[in-house]
Amino acid sequence: MTDFQAVTLWQKIQLFYRWILENGDKRTNNWPLVYSPVPISCIFLCYLLIIWAGPKIMEKRTPVNLKPILIIYNFAMVCLSAYMFYEFAASSWLARYSLLCQPVDYSSSPLAMRMARVCWWFYFSKVIELSDTIFFILKKKKNQLTFLHVYHHATMIFNWWAGVKYVAGGQSFLIGLINSLVHVVMYLYYGLAALGPGMSRYLWWKRYLTSLQLLQFLAVTVHTAYNLFADCDYPDSMNVVVLAYSLSLITLFSNFYYQSYVVNKKAKKT
């Protein structure tokens, strides 16, 4: 590659980066972790470093007792998820959102800003949820550091960075609405489990939690596919990304369900 070609390539990268910065939603540009992809990319790299180095550091150490922290963390996440579910539901209802086709309202009206703010909180909650992985490492639960776990946590922060940066509202509200409700149930389960072995008799519904997660991805897939092929003023590029992502999660969670509740059940019977 000649120097001229290298400079041209570097200029193209600079122009693309400038386009990323300048073409976002002006309402959310000044909010934390939104204007530039650099901060969230640094968080992502730190996350990968922790996944690589954490188990090595903990290899010859005893698991850390995180019971008080996990109880507070999980029930705090229940409250945050419930708050976001309420805000998504109230904002979309009051603004008379359409379930089939809802463009983004880029105005600064109270309802449009309310929806944009809860989208940011949903995005930030995905950053907070990276703590799940750290807790697994500190507790030496290497079996829970699966590809599904890491893939889901690492990609959600980028998906919702783009969501808040470019489409804070519109069709994306349904993803936040459904996922927040699912996370109320999920973190309630984890919070009860963190209380100790005495709660195990009340946690028979873990299998149905996985089914609920699969159901949400199916709903998002159908909703996004319809919106992609319908005549709707919402970016097709976003719909394509969401559709591909939800299909990947259906595949991974279906495999998890099969391995956990079908193969293991047969193995136990044998």
> What confidence tens digit (pLDDT) does each residue in 219-236 have?
999 999 998 888 888 999
- Spell 235-256 as b/e; 16+ CB within 10 A means b: eeebbebbbebbbebbebbeeb
Task: Say if CB 211 and CB 182 are below 8 A apart.
Answer: no
How confident is residue 6, by pLDDT bands cut at 50, 70 and 90? low
Task: Say if CB 168 and CB 120 are below 8 A apart.
Answer: yes
pLDDT of 163 over the 60 cut? yes
Classify residue 9: in a domain, yes or no.
no
* pTM, rounded to two decimals: 0.92
pLDDT of 1 over the 70 cut? no
Classify residue 135: in a domain, yes or no.
yes
Query: In this predicted structure, what is the pLDDT of residue 267?
Result: 63
Classify residue 13: in a domain, yes or no.
no
Classify residue 18: in a domain, yes or no.
no
Measured from the Cβ of residue 2, the count of other Cβ atoms closer than 10 Å reads 7
Q: Write out the residue range of the structural domain in which residue 209 sits.
A: 28-269
pLDDT of 4 over the 70 cut? no
pLDDT tens for 102-157 read: 999 999 999 999 999 999 999 999 999 999 999 999 999 988 899 999 999 999 99
Measured from the Cβ of residue 178, the count of other Cβ atoms closer than 10 Å reads 19
Please, what sign has the CA dihedral across residues 16, 18, 24, 30?
positive
Count structural domains, the chain: 1
Classify residue 36: in a domain, yes or no.
yes
Supply the mean pLDDT for the chain.
92
* Gap between the Cα atoms of 179 and 174, Å rounded: 8
Classify residue 21: in a domain, yes or no.
no
* Gap between the Cα atoms of 227 and 99, Å rounded: 9
Classify residue 230: in a domain, yes or no.
yes
The active-site residue, picked from 149, 152, 153, 223, is 152
* Gap between the Cα atoms of 59 and 136, Å rounded: 13
Q: Is 153 known to be catalytic?
A: no
Classify residue 187: in a domain, yes or no.
yes
Residue 123, Cβ density class (10 Å: 0-12 exposed, 13-18 middle, ≥19 buried): buried
Sequence-distant (≥ 6) Cβ neighbours of residue 76 within 8 angstroms = none
* Gap between the Cα atoms of 13 and 239, Å rounded: 25
